């Protein structure tokens, strides 16, 4: 039994990673296996989960000169 309890359904795999990144991760005390697993879980969730509104879609352009007289204003349709 390891420091975090039972291994559960874990398997061994090979991960190719830049040497400097691995050295820095170890230097700051990161558990590379745990960080990698968490990153994969997050990436899989983004790719397979429902599409979420990001708020990054710009509002439609208004007619005129293309300049806003109040650049700090928030567009609310």
The full 3-state SS of 39-64, as one line of letters, equals HHHHHHHHHHCCCCCCCCCCCCCCCC
Within-domain flag for 77: no
The boundaries of the domain holding residue 42 are 19-48
Count the domains in the chain. Answer: 1
Within-domain flag for 26: yes
Of the two residues 5 and 20, the one the predictor is more confident about is: 20
Within-domain flag for 75: no
Query: pTM of the predicted model, to two decimals?
Result: 0.54
Whole-number Å distance between alpha carbons of 76 and 70 = 14
Within-domain flag for 39: yes
75 has pLDDT over 60: no
How much is the pLDDT for 1? 46
How much is the pLDDT for 64? 58
Q: Which residues of 34-62 are buried (b: 16+ CB within 10 A; e: fewer)?
A: eeeeeeeeeeeeeeeeeeeeeeeeeeeee
Within-domain flag for 23: yes
Q: What is the pLDDT of residues 10-63, one digit of tens each?
A: 999 999 999 999 999 999 999 999 999 999 999 999 999 887 666 666 666 666
Within-domain flag for 61: no
Within-domain flag for 32: yes
């Amino acid at each position: 039994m390891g420091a975090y309890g039972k291994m559960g359904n874990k398997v061994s795999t090979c991960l190719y990673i830049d040497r400097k990144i691995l050295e820095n991760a170890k230097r700051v005390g990161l558990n590379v296996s745990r960080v990698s697993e968490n990153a994969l879980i997050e990436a899989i969730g983004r790719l397979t989960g429902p599409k979420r509104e990001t708020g990054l879609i710009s509002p439609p352009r208004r007619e005129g000169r293309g300049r806003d007289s109040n650049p700090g204003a928030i567009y609310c349709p």
